[in-house]
Amino acid sequence: MSNKKYALLQRNEQLEFVEMPSTHMYQLAALNQRLHKELDKLTVSGIPALPYFIAEFEGLEIVRPGYELQHGLDYINRLEQTFAALQQQEKQYPLVSLLTEIRALQAQLEQWYEEEEELA
């Protein structure tokens, strides 16, 4: 049994594929749902367009050129950078809360990947 799962995300007509540890996929799904729920409450300009979490898979083989698989930690790091950039303009809830959630998952993933490297 694989220790990885794959998420399908959609932003407008663009599809994104993200590889995550199977133990953390539910957190990515929940975080994506929470971000969408709170996005309209932000008062800053330049709010990022986020993809919607569409599906998760046990296995994935991308056969169409032009699509690539994103490493889960890379995806979360970019998400954190995007929201951290907004923090200079808005220091109120929900941005602080959203950044806390993103950073918590980021730290968990960093630990998971470090442990995987040690076992390899």
The residues that bridge with 53 in the sheet, in sequence order, are 9
Q: Where in the sequence is the domain holding 8, given as residue range(s)?
A: 4-119
The total domain count for the chain is 1
Q: Which amino acid is at 117?
A: E
H or E element, residue 64: none
Q: What tokens does 50 get?
A: 């986020």
**Would you give per-residue pLDDT tens digits along the chain (120 residues)?**
469 999 999 999 999 999 999 999 999 999 999 999 988 888 887 888 899 999 999 999 999 999 999 999 999 999 999 999 888 777 667 888 899 999 999 999 999 999 888 887
H or E element, residue 79: helix 72-86
Q: What is the pTM of this model?
A: 0.90
